[in-house]
Chain A
Amino acid sequence: MTQAVFWALIGMALVVLGLYALIVHAHLLRKVLALNIMSSGVFLVFIGLARRTPDADAPMAADPVPQAMVLTGIVVAVAATGLALALIVRLRALTGRTTLGDDMGD
């Protein structure tokens, strides 16, 4: 197992863990955290697979295109998280709830 595959597998595990938490947890803050874990996993897959180049031991041998895409993705993920948190705060201010759906037991 090469280093690239190792990190890509870790990234896949993070994606699946995040997906589980996204489905199981009802609290929106936890859902946002789960989405962030999932995106971190995707970034790790990209960064890991960027090192599949044949001479992977040479310095700066990694494929720069996936790295640039991850750099883009991190910033977008942070911005989306900020927007999601603002929406959650607004939802709570309007309804007092921090979950979606009607099965609130009230």
Chain B
Amino acid sequence: MSAQRATPRHGGGGVQAPAGAARPVPADTALPRAARVLLALVLLAVFGGLALAVLALAQPAPGLAAAVAGRIDDSGVSHPVTAVLLNFRGYDTLLELVVLVLALVGTWSVGRARGCAGNAPGPLLRQLPRLLAPLMVLVAGYLLWAGAHAPGGAFQAGSLLGGVGILLCLSGQPLPGWAQALVLRLAVVLGVAVFAALGAAAALLPGGAPLDWPPAQAKTLILTIELAAMLSIGVVLAALFAGGRP
């Protein structure tokens, strides 16, 4: 993490840094040389086996491209990857958002955020985010919209928003007070909540099933979910960078 650039030896965030911290890092390799050579040979054999497995897969395989192309008109979007992510394999994406929230909960339960407090931004880093952050938010919105018909979507847009958060953190912009407690937590779970609620509502339609979008409303539903997911992904990534509960 480059945030510690200004402090040559950050003492574990001020938490009881023991005297042992000044001890030089022990020899990085725990294995003697002979064992490493043996390991390299074993792994070379493993690579050979894996390569043979890949070569056995060499012949052209149709995969699921035709199946996706056949139902793309019902999916509400025209880009196949977005259709797979948000429609055909919606469970994957829903549970992925759950994984993001769980990772953040785990990080928050380990310690408090050190944020970027130890970072002393230079003049460039203090000023540049003022120009870049609005542009990045704009591009994130474009990526979200473009995801319906071109490469893009909630994850690309969300990671850009996460980048905005990291940039603002590094440039020493404090999180505004209103965003620190409840709003932050709501933003973290927004994606999962909207996705799960709409997915459950789809099951209540006649002949519906969970996460089975009716084709007429699919595009609206997908964009709604992607908007919520983008916000959550951005907030979670930036909060993971901050490294602990606020």
Residues of chain A touching chain B, judged by Cβ–Cβ distance below 8 Å, are 1-2, 4-5, 8-9, 12-13, 15-16, 19-20, 23-27, 30, 45, 49-50, 52-54, 56, 60-69, 71-72, 74-76, 78-80, 82-83, 85-87, 89-90, 92-99, 101, 103-106
Contact = CB atoms under 8 A, between A and B. Distances in A.
Nearest to A63: B63
Given A64-B65, A64-B83, A75-B96, A90 B29 contact: no
Interface string B46-61: 1100110011011111
A97 to B, nearest CB: 7
Nearest to A105: B26
A24 B36 contact: yes
Contacts of B18: 95-96
Interface residues of B, number: 67
Pick the most buried of A23, A25, A61, A93: most chain B CB atoms within 10 A of its CB: A93
B179 interface: no
Contact of A86 (B15, B55, B243): B243
Interface string B20-45: 11010111111100001001100110
A20 B240 contact: no
A4 B25 CA distance: 42
Contact of A76 (B16, B61, B99, B240): B99
Given A68-B85, A75-B96, 5 more contacts: A20-B39, A23-B39, A53-B62, A75-B100, A89-B13
A57 to B, nearest CB: 11
Contacts of A45: 54
A33 B236 CA distance: 21
B47 A12 contact: yes
A16 B110 contact: no
Contacts of B20: 95-97, 106
B106 interface: yes
A12 B50 contact: yes
B89 A68 contact: yes
Interface string B234-245: 001100110110
Contact of A19 (B29, B43, B58): B43
